[in-house]
Structure 1
Amino acid sequence: MSKNYIPTINISSLINNNFNTESAKKTLLKIKKASIEIGFFQIVSHGISKKNIKDITSVGNNFFKSSNLNKMKLAPKKWNKKNKNIYRGYFPNDVNGKEGLDIGDLKVTKSYAAKLKNQYIEYLDLKKSLNKKSIKVLENYYDNIFNLSETLFKSIIRIYNLDIVKSKIAFRRQKTLSTLRFNFYPNQTKPVEISKQDGVALGCETHVDSGIFTVLYQDKKGGLQVQNRNNKKWYDVPFNRNALIVNTGLALEFLSKGKFKATNHRVLWNKTKRMSIPFFFEPSYDFKMNKSFFTNKPNHKKGLYFEKFLNKSLKKFVEYQR
């Protein structure tokens, strides 16, 4: 399988959100090509420090190494009757062969969530299981990865020759449904499923993501594969310690009228432990999904609320059947 199938793009010219330089314009063309043809690409010089990534992986590893009692303190009500959270939190590996920790916007306060009463905007009391230092690392990483993801979204807006201020229509902190997730694959004794297409053993089923973009850090064990839309063959996403992996999701496919399609991907079964940290960049719960968004005459008053769009998409995932 070709290691060159997934392009690597240096996005240093975009980090200051100046999309009008010649260098930035060349980068936009690379993002456009990769997003349309493949739906996956790797980014380097993305502005998130190696220390930030090292710290966030340490937080994840330490959490999953902790006792089951400690982890279950953050579990949704389905697994811990004492808790009120339903959407956010920890889920055990008997769900689909992996453990996970889903964290929403850390700017959401207990009072804000209580006042809003939205099923997806939940306050997760991380202090139950994590120390102050770990929570600070999470806050810093969430801020950084959110800003990076918004830069990528602004890139798509500029590809349409529109004003990047449009980004604020779709994305507002506290209102965003963006999720920072830790996926921990333990020593799996058996695969989650066997691919019906090619008989390969899988640690995570074939799927597409729901949001605008997913921005992923995968550890050196790798295992992520992407399906070519034309020949249906699978290609490895090689590990690059300096890169983050980006893929397009169903929300971007919808807004772009199918121009930027979501792409099938999967994770190979691996008997050794591994962890990945995806960030699902998802709009505000009350953003109205309308196919006129990327036009000069958008109608922001009509459309399906994103929370309903997300709800329909999540039904296919076992871990969200709560």
Structure 2
Amino acid sequence: MINSKIREDKLETLVSRSAVPIIDLAHCGKSLVHRVGQQLHKAFTEKGIAFLVNHGIAEDKIKAVWDQFDNFLDLPAEIQDRHRRKDGVNYGYVSPGMERFDGSTPELRHAYNVCKLDEQNIPREALPELAEDITTLCTDLKAMSLFIMKAMEVALEIPPSFFVDKHSQMLEGDDLNMSTLRMLYYPAIVDDEPGQSEGAIRCGAHVDYGTFTLLAQDSEGGLEVQLPGSEKWERVGHLPGAILINGGELLSIWTKQRYHALPHRVVIPEQELIRTRGRHSIAYFCHPNNSILISPNDLLGEGEAKSEDKVYSAYELIQKKFNDTYGQRSQ
């Protein structure tokens, strides 16, 4: 056990190598949006990810939602089934194995998607406190997302409110906007249970679909990325209290691939002390309104636009991704 602990202490990650940009949101003033915008621009063009620190979202708020999801997973199966994600919608409970990002590999993960703060999306009757805790956290993550969009508008030198206006219906329902708060729990892997993790993964390789993702996690749990220009999978590591941001596919299309949509996955860690404990995370997937047309021409200067670039709505683009992931249409 001592030797195992020493090996885990020496686990090399992007965090241990200081290879992930860190953006401090603490300082107030008129220059904050400009500074953060420039730092995000550099991070998205060079790495595709960054850590946000001093972001103002209390750890207690995040932990409260993790605790509530644990309570949901302790409910009887028949109650969980009432809230299971159904074909045609994006909200609800997703049990291990329902999602397969590579189309075949079983994924050991519990998830619960919230697209709107209403009775349909949240199991209020079974867990009355869950709705309050999620609403509080969603309010903070939505506000952070709007600030990030304003910072990107400055960095990209595009009209004010370009992004903000196109994301005006976040968390008003997946029929209007696919933005989603996702609670995640990766169960502990117990080696004395034969076949528990054989041929499985915690989350298959993929890029996120939307504009960007905000991720809070409680520990190192196997998150890996492929940095731009590399096919090597590298462990990210854990920076306590930080929120990880990564760009999504729609943002990459909008910026004509100047901003990277980073491939990532969550593997079953080889380190015993990591694999034998459960891992919580919360992801906030920021999406444009479904009706918004996504065109790289929007952010190009005069003379740069190309008429042959095909234009899709945000809804059309994400539906293809859901079809790939679930083997059926989401809506």
Q: If the length of structure 1 is used for normalisation, what is the TM-score?
A: 0.80
**In structure 1, what is the equivalent of residue 78 of structure 2?**
69
**In structure 2, what is the equivalent of residue 130 of structure 1?**
127
Kindly tell me: are residues 191 and 285 of structure 1, through their superposed partners in 2, closer, same or farther at Cα, counting changes over 3 Å? farther
Q: Distance in 1 between matches of 2:261 and 2:253?
A: 9
Kindly tell me: are residues 287 and 321 of structure 1, through their superposed partners in 2, closer, same or farther at Cα, counting changes over 3 Å? closer
Which aligned pairs between 1:252-267 and structure 2 lie closer than 5 A? Answer: 252-267=251-266
Kindly tell me: are residues 252 and 226 of structure 1, through their superposed partners in 2, closer, same or farther at Cα, counting changes over 3 Å? same
1:6 to 20, 40, 43: 20
Q: If the length of structure 2 is used for normalisation, what is the TM-score?
A: 0.78
Kindly tell me: are residues 49 and 26 of structure 1, through their superposed partners in 2, closer, same or farther at Cα, counting changes over 3 Å? same
Contact 1:210 1:314 in 2 (8 A): no
Q: Distance in 2 between matches of 1:265 and 1:273?
A: 19
Percent identity at matched positions? 21
Kindly tell me: are residues 320 and 283 of structure 1, through their superposed partners in 2, closer, same or farther at Cα, counting changes over 3 Å? farther
Gaps of 5+ in 2: 1-11, 99-106, 190-195, 269-274
How far does the alpha carbon of each residue in 1:21-78 deviate from its partner, in whole angstroms, 9 at most, with x for none?
1x54333222111111111111001121122122222222222232222221211346
The answer as to 2:29 corresponding to 1:28 is no
3-state DSSP of counterpart to 2:121: coil
Kindly tell me: are residues 178 and 237 of structure 1, through their superposed partners in 2, closer, same or farther at Cα, counting changes over 3 Å? same
3-state DSSP of counterpart to 2:284: strand
Q: Distance in 1 between matches of 2:315 and 2:82?
A: 26
CA RMSD between the two structures: 2.6
Post-superposition offset of 1:307: 0.8
Kindly tell me: are residues 210 and 5 of structure 1, through their superposed partners in 2, closer, same or farther at Cα, counting changes over 3 Å? same
**In structure 1, what is the equivalent of residue 225 of structure 2?**
226
Q: Distance in 2 between matches of 1:142 and 1:191?
A: 36
Kindly tell me: are residues 12 and 293 of structure 1, through their superposed partners in 2, closer, same or farther at Cα, counting changes over 3 Å? farther
Post-superposition offset of 1:288: 1.4
Contact 1:229 1:263 in 2 (8 A): yes
Kindly tell me: are residues 62 and 308 of structure 1, through their superposed partners in 2, closer, same or farther at Cα, counting changes over 3 Å? same
Q: Distance in 2 between matches of 1:172 and 1:184?
A: 29
Kindly tell me: are residues 220 and 103 of structure 1, through their superposed partners in 2, closer, same or farther at Cα, counting changes over 3 Å? same
What is the number of residues matched between the two proteins? Answer: 286
3-state DSSP of counterpart to 1:149: helix
Q: Distance in 2 between matches of 1:171 and 1:27?
A: 20
Letter of the 1:307 counterpart: Y
Letter of the 2:63 counterpart: K
3-state DSSP of counterpart to 1:263: coil
Contact 1:191 1:203 in 2 (8 A): no
Post-superposition offset of 1:271: 4.4
Contact 2:220 2:237 in 1 (8 A): no
Post-superposition offset of 1:233: 2.2
Post-superposition offset of 1:281: 0.5
3-state DSSP of counterpart to 2:299: coil
**In structure 2, what is the equivalent of residue 287 of structure 1?**
292
How far does the alpha carbon of each residue in 1:210-242 deviate from its partner, in whole angstroms, 9 at most, with x for none?
011110011114321111222322222222221
Gaps of 5+ in 1: 79-84, 111-122, 194-201
Post-superposition offset of 1:191: 4.9
Runs of 4+ in 1 over 4 A off after TM superposition: 295-298, 319-322
Kindly tell me: are residues 304 and 231 of structure 1, through their superposed partners in 2, closer, same or farther at Cα, counting changes over 3 Å? closer
Letter of the 2:57 counterpart: I
The answer as to 2:213 corresponding to 1:214 is yes
Q: Distance in 1 between matches of 2:167 and 2:132?
A: 23
Q: Distance in 1 between matches of 2:265 and 2:198?
A: 12
